[in-house]
Amino acid sequence: MRIAITGGAGYIGSHTVDALMTRGDEVVVVDDLSTGDVARIGTAELIDLDLASDRAGATLGRQLRDRRVDAVIHFAALKRVDESIESPGLYYHVNLASTLAVIDAMRDAAVPSLVLSSSAAVYGEVDGMVDESHPTRPLNPYGATKLACETLVDAVARSGALRAASLRYFNVAGAGRPELGDRTIVNLIAIVIDQLSRGETPLVFGDDYETPDGSCVRDYVHVADVASAHVAVLDWLETTTGHRPLNIGTGRGTSVLEVIDVISAAMGSDIKPAIRSRRVGDPANVVSRVDAIARLTGWSATYDLDATVRSSIEAYRWWSASSPVR
């Protein structure tokens, strides 16, 4: 297949570029390199394009047609919850305009299949195992833009113009190779690795939740598993019509204290975490149900937390050594 990957120079996108090229697909990356790095895409071709810019849809449509692309995976987006609260207009503009441009381009070039990057942030208030029928009430502008993109794709798929899946990732971490790792310090695993590397004490917000050890429980999925889910879903889309949201997680919960223990053991650190009071809005337990994707595509996550943590540490060390001033 010939696949266009928007945001392919980013963290999850580059792992998916790698997975598709490894199995022999042809890949073209569409990215403005705003947070991405061209060094992550290897020998894949790059179309340097800001998808939220004027006329991006027409420009991309010509490129897709010229290259006879069969499918698009749309990762390109802004993804920071804190930034989306400060600049909601920017988030609505970039995330929606980019998705509209992709849909316009696919229509122009008659490309039939779309995989959209969505997020567990579309669910909002959750406590426990979540399947795709859970109400979608995002708690921040980032999650709201992801839901709006899903809604748009759903309407276009219902019109018969394309077949699509929106993949709702839970907590993505790890790296397939150190140079492909995430370079932001935003999720728990990255924050704890950064703190222990600096000799700082990791903080646990709340140890009195209704969970086995009292700390919050989340679902951490290795980015290489997230990439292979895209490959499985692309193949499945060939056999179906319409639009389907699908959770991407492990189906297993891990507590904050467990995550810190695994990281401390892997880093040989004996710094003990400090307990602080609960943060407003942190649910006790958020774990993905993954029955739907397993049933439809046969995909399930294969990496355990130890592998996810160890590859995150390697990526952190690689990036710290390559870019000591951050």
Binding positions for ligand NAD, rule: CB under 6 A? 7, 9-13, 31-36, 50-52, 75-77, 79, 94, 98, 117, 119, 169, 172
Please identify, using beta-carbon distances, which residue of 215 and 247 lies nearer to ligand NAD. 247
Smallest distance from ligand NAD to CB 94, Å: 5
- Per the DSSP assignment, residues forming a β-bridge with 114 are 72, 164
Smallest distance from ligand NAD to CB 252, Å: 17
Smallest distance from ligand NAD to CB 324, Å: 21
Please identify, using beta-carbon distances, which residue of 166 and 195 lies nearer to ligand NAD. 166
Smallest distance from ligand NAD to CB 17, Å: 11
Smallest distance from ligand NAD to CB 106, Å: 15
Reported in sequence order, the residue ranges of the chain that DSSP labels E, i.e. its strands, are 2-6, 26-31, 45-48, 71-74, 113-119, 128-130, 163-169, 171-173, 203-205, 217-218, 220-222, 243-248, 254-255, 274-276, 285-288
Please identify, using beta-carbon distances, which residue of 35 and 300 lies nearer to ligand NAD. 35
- Per the DSSP assignment, residues forming a β-bridge with 247 are 168
Q: DSSP letters along 2-34, please? A: EEEEETTTSHHHHHHHHHHHHTT-EEEEEE--S
Q: What distance in Å separates the CA atoms of residue 142 and residue 199, rounded to the nearest whole number?
A: 32
**Residues 6+ away with beta carbon under 8 Å from 140:** 81, 84, 85, 121
* Crossing angle (nearest 10°) for helices 305-322 and 256-267: 60
**Residues 6+ away with beta carbon under 8 Å from 44:** 5, 8, 17, 21, 27, 28, 29
142 part of the active site: yes
* Residue that has been written with the tokens 């602080």 in this structure: 276
Residue of 11, 91, 142, 209 marked active site: 142
Please identify, using beta-carbon distances, which residue of 98 and 247 lies nearer to ligand NAD. 98
Please identify, using beta-carbon distances, which residue of 50 and 207 lies nearer to ligand NAD. 50
**CA proximity to 78, closest of 142, 131, 16, 133:** 142
Rounded to 5 degrees, what are φ and ψ at 112? -90, -25
Number of helices (H), then strands (E), belonging to the chain: the values are: 10, 15
Please identify, using beta-carbon distances, which residue of 207 and 256 lies nearer to ligand NAD. 256
**Residues 6+ away with beta carbon under 8 Å from 189:** 171, 173, 174, 220, 259, 263, 308, 309, 312
Please identify, using beta-carbon distances, which residue of 129 and 149 lies nearer to ligand NAD. 149
Smallest distance from ligand NAD to CB 253, Å: 17
Q: What distance in Å separates the CA atoms of residue 229 and residue 224, rounded to the nearest whole number?
A: 9
Smallest distance from ligand NAD to CB 44, Å: 12
Which residues are tagged catalytic? Answer: 142
